[in-house]
Amino acid sequence: MLLSWLYVPGDRPDRFAKAVASGADAVILDLEDAVVAGRKAYARDAVAEFLAETHQVPVQVRVNELTGPDVDADLAAVSGRPGLAGLRLPKVESSATVAALADRVNVPLHPLVESALGLEAAYPIASAHPAVASIGLGEADLRSDLGVNDDDGLLWARGRVVVAARAAGLVPPAMSVFADVTDVAGLAASCAVGRRLGFLGRAAIHPRQLPVIVEAFRPADREVARAAELLAAVAEALRRDSGTVVLPDGRFADRAMVAAARRTVDLAARYAA
């Protein structure tokens, strides 16, 4: 359960090590939108060199579009590198393209839905292959395709991706990037909306966004206290050999509540420092 990812352009090797040390839970080296056509080859070489060894946080690579002319060269450059923790797959619109790629590589795959067609296939994409570790939205392209200009227009799309991920047994998805790196309040408000929809974490395009993201998605003290109280009640019920767990506020605790409480406590412990 990771809360923050940091995107770095693949043609900026001077930023790679800084990104790994930024405090992000994972780093994404971008060979797609962040790199212009004339610098693709340079970016591939730079990314491949950086991935020649492992790093202290997972490092993923966003390759170019699976149906485009650059993806084969991307895969040839990064496949088999010790430091490659996964591939981000942009503009995915069918489960077949994901399954075909999974047969060519041996790393976790993270498809991104960025169009209305991809959104319609969200669950098939999420369940396309055991190598699929997560799915997410590419909201800039999706906004353009749907013709919406604000977050309200994306509520249904966001909810659909959350449901598709969970229905496929995947971790809750992370939110797409927030483009305005100066608008801290706007980022926090947007993260709060995403968290209520079921997202877990968010991708960033600048290190200054990372603390805001972690603070927004990390369980609050009151949530942790309630979760710990529930788990203590469950432990006491087990000690008494009772199948019924009643919380101090009178609520009955079921297995779903126990699982959620354990996730909350585990996540809080992870980010306690």
Binding residue ranges: 62, 114, 141
Determine the Cα–Cα distance for residues 124 and 96; give it in Å rounded to an integer. Answer: 9
How many helices (H) and strands (E) are present in the chain, helices listed first? 12, 7
Which pair of tokens denotes residue 204? 């960033």
Cα radius of gyration (the chain)? 20
Contacts of residues 165-169 at CB distance under 8 Å and 24 or more positions apart, as own/partner, are 165/126, 165/134, 165/135, 166/198, 167/123, 167/126, 167/127, 168/123, 168/126, 168/127, 168/132, 168/135, 169/127
Q: Which residues are annotated as a binding site for Mg(2+)?
A: 114, 141
Determine the angle formed by the axes of helices 71-78 and 40-50, rounding to 10 degrees: 20
How many other C-beta atoms can be found within 10 angstroms of the C-beta atom of residue 98? 24
Inter-CA distances, 19 with 42, 45, 84, 115, 255, Å: 19, 18, 15, 29, 39
> Binding site for substrate, residues?
62, 114
